[in-house]
Structures are given as C-alpha cells and as structure tokens.
Amino acid sequence: MTTATQTATDSARTDLRFIIIGAGMSGILSAIKLQEAGLDNYAIYEKADRLGGTWRENEYAGLSCDVPSHLYCYSFAPNPDWSHRFSPGPEIQAYFEDVAQRFEVEKRIQFNTEITRCEFVDGRWQIELSDGSSDVGDFVIAATGVLHVPNYPDIEGLDSYKGTVFHSARWNHDAKLAGKRVGVIGTGSTAIQIVGSLVDEVEEISLFQRTAQWIVPQENPPYSEEEKAEFRKKPEVVEQMRALILKEFAEGFANAVVDAYSPELKGIHDTCEANLNDSVKDPELREKLRPNYRAGCKRLIMSDNFYDAIQRPNANLVTEGIERIEEGGVRTKDGKLHELDVLILATGFQVDRFMRPMEVIGRNGLALDEAWQKGPCAYMAITVPEFPNLFMLNGPNGPVGNFSLIEVAELQWAYIMQLIEKVRSGSCNELSVSSEAMEAYDIERKESAKTTIWQSGCNSWYLDADGVPAVWPWTWDRFRDDMANPRYADFDIR
C-alpha cells in the first residue's frame, strides 16, 4: 500500500527490461544511452552477422556520406581522425564498430538473431526470435532504420539476364568489373557515386536514367595530419566545428525546405543550375541532365566527380525508357539493345517497411500492418496509438532529407528517455500517443507539408501513396524544441 509520505523514488522501477531491435547507428545509441542512465537490463537483437545497419548493408563502389564527417558522428563520441570532410562508407562502418566496442555494447549484441514477432500481453512485450527462443521486455526500442529492405525493380526479363546482376545494397565483391561493360539502373545518390567511382576502371559504363537529378558541387578535401593532430589535442575545436556545421545546416537548408519559396532554396537551386551549366559542355547532354523540377524537391545529390565522369568517352547516359531486360543486356523502348557484362541495380529501398516484415501486435490484438493500412505514420516519428512502450528512432514522418540522422536520433532519444522516466519513476506503467492526438498531429502534418519543397512537383521516395510528403514538414528548430518537451496531454498514460 502506498502511503502519502512515499516519494517517487520509493516506488521507482529498477527492474525495467529493454529490447532493442537492430544494431545500427540508432541501436548502438540506444544501448549507450540506457547504460548512461543506469538501465543496464537490455538486449540487442541483430538479424545480420555484424553491426552497422545501412553502413554494413551498403558496400558499393564510391560509397560515402553526404553529411560532413564531424556532424555525422555521435555528439558524445567525436572522431578526430576522419580522413575527409565527407567520410567514405568503410570508415563510417569502422567508426560504429569502434564506438560499440569502446562503450562495451558490442558484447551485448546477439547477432544472426532476427525478431519475428512482438506482442504486447499483460503490460509487457513478448518477443519471438528466429532461432525459436523468446524474450520479454517492458519497452521495445525499434532501431530498425529506414533503408534496409532493398527495392528490386519490376522490369520484364530481369531473371533472364545471363550476365552478373546484383543490387547496390548487396554488392557482389567477386564480380569482375575491370574492363567490363557495366550498366547501372537508377540515378539517385548511390548510382551517381557508383558511376563516378567505376568510370576509370570499366571498358564502358551506361547509366539508365529515368529522372535527372540536381547535383550540388561538393569538394571533399582530405584532412591533413596536422589538422587531425589538432583535433586530437583540442577537442573543443571539433566541437566548435560541429556546432558551426549544424547552425549552417539548420539555417541554410533544414529550415528552408519547409518553405518552398524561401530565398535559401532559390540560392540552392541557382547553385545547382550553375554547376550543371558550367560543368557539362555538350548542350545535348546538358539538357538530358537538366531536371524539370526545383532543386530540393528530391533529395539533393552532392558530388565532385559525376559530371566529369558522365562526359568520359566510355560513359553513356541512356534516357530512353527500358522496355525489358534480355540475356545479353537492356533493351530500351527505341529498340536498341545495350549489351552488358554486369548490371547493377541502384534502385533504392522499400522506405515504408520500418519494423516490418516482423509481426508487431499491440493492445487488443491490433496488428501494426492494420494500424498502418493507409501507410506508416507515427506521432513525432516515435510512437503509435495502441502500441505502448514501443518507441522508434528515425520512424515514419521524421526528418530524413539531407539531414544527419545521428543528430535526429540523439534528439529523439532525449524525448524517449523522458517517457521512460515516467515509468521508471513509478508514476505509470504504459505510455503511447492517444488516437485523438495522433489524428490531430497527422492532419496538421499533412496540411503543413503542402508548403514544403517536396510538394512542389516531382516524384520522390519522400511521398506516400497519396502523394503527400511523409517527412517532417516543419523547421529544424521546431523539431529540436518538440523533442525537448513532450506534450504529455497527448499521451494515453496508464
């Protein structure tokens, strides 16, 4: 019996157990932050044989990050030894491996163990695993990421191709590329990086472009040994650099994209247009590479070598639509067969998967697939009605664009931790957003999305099935403020 003199500390929960899904960037962050809070009763389940998430999945030629290195790292674990302003993929993978080891997270990860089912029963989450075992937790932290289920194109004859074919997220390291005729389907950042990386190695490279992309010129100088020595000696220099990059990012881009007619966006568009006009000499090729939408409508691509690469004598930009794929290559709608030895599918990911394909069952037998029948949505990109004590990092409708998802996840974790503390203190057992608050939030989100650059007239993976941008439609400042101050009146607290 609780007396009037008992404090929250007297009834504080010390036995809370956490189930973390995924050992990518967000999963590692979650474990470190739980340890920091003295909540050491957790398990991390990872379906693959090593950590890293998207940086483990993607090992394609030319892979690098389009967020500056000193921003694309944990705020509590700066890296003075980044080799370049924008880091190559293997270096980022090595960074996460190092952090997981230093913070003693790696030894807690259960690899090759996929969660197949989560069900909320009698106030706790019942977990079923691919090896037939089970677990029970008070909280589920879904750190599954966005880009983890490859999207394979639905093109007639793909199975009939006799050459080597693979998805960019399933890179075939045994494939012989030197001196070969290589085709790349897709024109997102992955395809752009692949072309720039392979053009000097292959006999011929053909890029099959459905939609032209705006490209921001990006210089990527290496950090000198002297600079890295200073970063090691003076951590405050790195912190100042990080703060400056974040400020420039917020003011120059993140707060601009939510206003389609902001002067900052016009400046970005003008920069992209000048980059195209100045870089591509052949007028016919230049017009093929010119998008018919405004810069920022799709995710901006940053490159220092693509325009040079696509103008090489052994590079072909194919803008004719693909009719089908045959044994010897790709036949386009003009009847031409583009003969290839290797075909690379740089066709992105299924961005609406999130926790799926695992089965997730909330209160009263409600399946997540049913709750998301009209498309994935989550209040603050974190919580879903009737799925108590289940929180997502980088979930639906969050800031994705050209953002540092590490910065996003850290801010989201601060929000989640405040919800966890409500349960830890003993003031409640369960929290999830109420259905009424979710509905009001989604109405406001969709209305605000109408003024964003993403709604200005292009097709992109930001858009849901109804053509509404499924991303954070407000400023970065609002995101930061909302993450710091949960509105508990919006929650179903029991």
Going from N- to C-terminal start, the domains of the chain cover 18-149+350-493, 158-214+283-345
- Indicate left, alpha or beta for 437 from its phi (over 0: left) and psi (-120 to 50: alpha): alpha
Beta-carbon contacts of 24 under 8 Å, excluding residues fewer than 6 positions away, are: 51, 52, 53, 54, 55, 56, 96, 143, 145, 148
pLDDT confidence of residue 12: 78
Residue 242's SS3 state is helix
CATH code: domain 158-214+283-345 is: 3.50.50.60
Q: What is the pLDDT of residue 353?
A: 66
Could you read off the pLDDT of 80-90 as tens digits, one per residue?
999 999 999 99
| Confidence at 6, pLDDT banded by 50, 70, 90 | very low
Pairing of strands 124-129, 134-137: antiparallel
Report pLDDT digits (tens) over 241-288. Answer: 999 999 988 888 888 888 999 999 999 999 999 999 999 999 999 999
Separation of alpha carbons 211 and 191, rounded Å: 12
Quote the strand ranges of 86-240, DSSP E: 109-110, 115-121, 124-129, 134-137, 139-142, 164-167, 181-185, 204-208, 215-217
Q: Which pLDDT band holds residue 35 (cuts at 50, 70, 90)?
A: very high
Fold match flag (18-149+350-493 vs 158-214+283-345): yes
Instruction: Return the pLDDT at 356.
Output: 77
Q: Class of 18-149+350-493 per CATH?
A: alpha beta
The model's pLDDT over 91-117, given as tens digits with 9 standing for 90+, comes to: 999 999 999 999 999 999 999 999 999
Residue 351 confidence (pLDDT): 67
Average pLDDT of the residues in 307-324:
97
pLDDT category at 8 given cuts 50, 70, 90 is: very low
3-class DSSP assignment, residue 21: strand
pLDDT attached to residue 402: 66
User: pTM score, two decimals?
Assistant: 0.93
For 117-174, write each residue's pLDDT tens digit: 999 999 999 999 999 999 999 999 999 987 767 889 999 999 999 999 999 999 999 9
